[in-house]
């Protein structure tokens, strides 16, 4: 299991918007240069963040801005915006366990509750961490 790099790219984008927003016109090309990724990937992630109401994108003079106060944005908000999890949950269960096998017959029901608990724990931790924490540490690191 691995969360895609879209999550870290999204946090990078939000942090760069806050960091440079008062000094530079923040555009998708500017952000792609900061992230070190293809502008198409950055624009896709920005689209997810816009849909989630985290950023505003306007063509012209203003560029890209935060749509929410930075203190209101959690890691969970970003995670949910760029890594939507379907009803199945975080863990994708293999689809055809052998029902003639005692392990295959029971593995899904035995693991479901445990996997749900792991996902809930991870999501609770993501909800505790705010983007302001990252931004504050970036400001400290760049002083």
Determine the Cα–Cα distance for residues 79 and 7; give it in Å rounded to an integer. 6
Tell me, which fold does domain 6-86+129-142 have in CATH?
A: Arc Repressor Mutant, subunit A (1.10.10)
CA dist., res. 85 & res. 72, Å (int): 21
Q: Give me the pLDDT at residue 2, please.
A: 57
Q: What is the pLDDT along the chain (143 residues), one digit of tens a residue?
A: 557 789 999 999 999 999 998 888 888 899 999 999 999 999 999 999 999 999 998 776 667 999 999 999 999 999 999 987 766 677 777 778 889 999 999 998 899 899 989 999 999 999 999 999 999 999 999 88
Cα(83)–Cα(74) distance, integer angstroms: 14
- The residue assigned the tokens 């790099």 is 5
pLDDT score recorded for residue 60? 66
- What is the C-alpha end-to-end distance of the chain, expressed in Å? 36
Total residue length of the chain: 143
Which of 16-20's residues contact partners 24+ apart within 8 Å by CB, and which partners? 17/55, 17/64, 17/65, 17/66, 18/66, 18/70, 18/131, 18/135, 19/135, 19/138, 19/139, 19/142
What's the pLDDT at 93?
Answer: 76
Distance CA 24, CA 27 (A): 9
Per-residue pLDDT at 34: 94
Question: What are 120's two structure tokens?
Answer: 């809930």
Query: What is the per-residue pLDDT for 22?
Result: 81
Q: What are phi and psi of 74, to 5 degrees?
A: -105, 165
């Amino acid at each position: 299991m691995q969360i895609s790099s879209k999550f870290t790219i999204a946090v990078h984008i939000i942090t760069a918007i806050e960091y440079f927003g008062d000094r530079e016109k923040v555009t998708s090309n500017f952000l792609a240069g900061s992230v070190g990724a293809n502008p198409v990937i950055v624009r896709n992630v920005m689209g997810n963040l816009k849909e989630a109401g985290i950023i505003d994108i306007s063509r012209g003079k203003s560029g890209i801005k935060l749509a929410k106060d930075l203190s209101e944005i959690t890691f969970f908000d970003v995670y949910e915006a760029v890594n939507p999890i379907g009803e199945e949950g975080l863990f994708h269960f293999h689809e055809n366990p052998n029902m003639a096998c005692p392990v295959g017959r029971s593995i899904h029901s035995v693991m479901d509750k445990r996997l749900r608990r792991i996902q809930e724990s991870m999501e609770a931790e993501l909800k505790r961490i705010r983007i302001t924490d990252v931004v504050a540490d970036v400001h400290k690191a760049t002083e």
